[in-house]
A and B are shown apart, each in its own frame.
Chain A
Amino acid sequence: MDLLSIVGNITIVTGALVFATAALGVLRFPDAYMRVSAVGTAGGVGIVLIVAGALALQPSIPNVVKVALVVIVHLASSAVGTMAIARATYITRTPLEHFEFDELADATPGSSTPVNSHRSGDRCERHDYD
């Protein structure tokens, strides 16, 4: 066990833990937005940590190039994909749970914050889905 392989193993386990956190988040977070957020982070950062750990276990120049490509391309595509899903979530009026503020509804003419009508609470009026 040299230092590099210890670092590699720690990095890989950290990446796996990030994924476990995301899975837990999908189960425990109350609405779609937070779940997208949890999965988006894990999809971006978890994979990068695991690939970087694999590089530390098998260091070589070609592997450095491959890992650099994976990190750049993956972070970019993961973030953009997450934003596309998040945007689609809002456009399809998926309800927000116990939110505190929503300035996107203020900026969208003729729109109100999507909430579950049976427990919309006192923050905003009931929205009729037409």
Chain B
Amino acid sequence: MSWLTWPLRCIGFFLWFAKEMVTSSAAVLKDNLTPGQNSTPGITAFDSQCRNDYEITLLAALITLTPGTLTLGLNSDSAVSPADGARPAPAETGTLTIYVHGMYAGNADAMREELRDMETRMLRGIRREGAPS
């Protein structure tokens, strides 16, 4: 069953992302065209649910492509660090953390909520078995 809905979910995510591009473009454009700056920039640490390098790369790239948000870096061993200091394989780290510069979220928690929404939609689109519960 999940094989049948996979392409549909993929297209669904693509359409949602296109819509998101338009709305966040409008927000940036509005700030640019009106006098003054009403941006509230900040850098958020976001613990993703991505399991491997492909998913986290795609997520980081999509965040960067969205107007107003920008991925600054990735921390792959923030959650679980082995005692001997060796860099663990991504599958063993538990959590891949990315750092995102956002312009209009207001505070770190609101930002994390937006990113979580986007990530869940992305994983629902690209994973055959759907989003993590």
Contact = CB atoms under 8 A, between A and B. Distances in A.
B73 A87 contact: yes
Nearest to A23: B32
Interface string B36-71: 010111111100000000000000111011111111
Contact of A37 (B97, B99, B103, B106): B103
Nearest to B40: A100
Interface residues of B, number: 36
B26 to A, nearest CB: 10
A45 interface: yes
A69 interface: no
Interface residues of A, number: 40
Contact of A21 (B28, B39, B69, B73): B28
B101 interface: yes
Contact of A79 (B42, B45, B65): B65
Given A36-B70, A98-B41, A103-B44, A44 B65 contact: yes
Interface of A: 18, 21, 24-25, 28-31, 33-34, 36-38, 40-41, 44-45, 75-76, 78-80, 82-83, 86-87, 89-90, 96-107
29 contacts: A18-B25, A21-B28, A21-B32, A29-B32, A31-B41, A33-B41, A33-B72, A37-B64, A37-B101, A40-B70, A41-B65, A41-B66, A45-B25, A76-B61, A79-B61, A82-B70, A83-B70, A86-B70, A86-B71, A86-B72, A86-B101, A96-B43, A101-B107, A101-B108, A103-B45, A103-B99, A107-B75, A107-B78, A107-B99
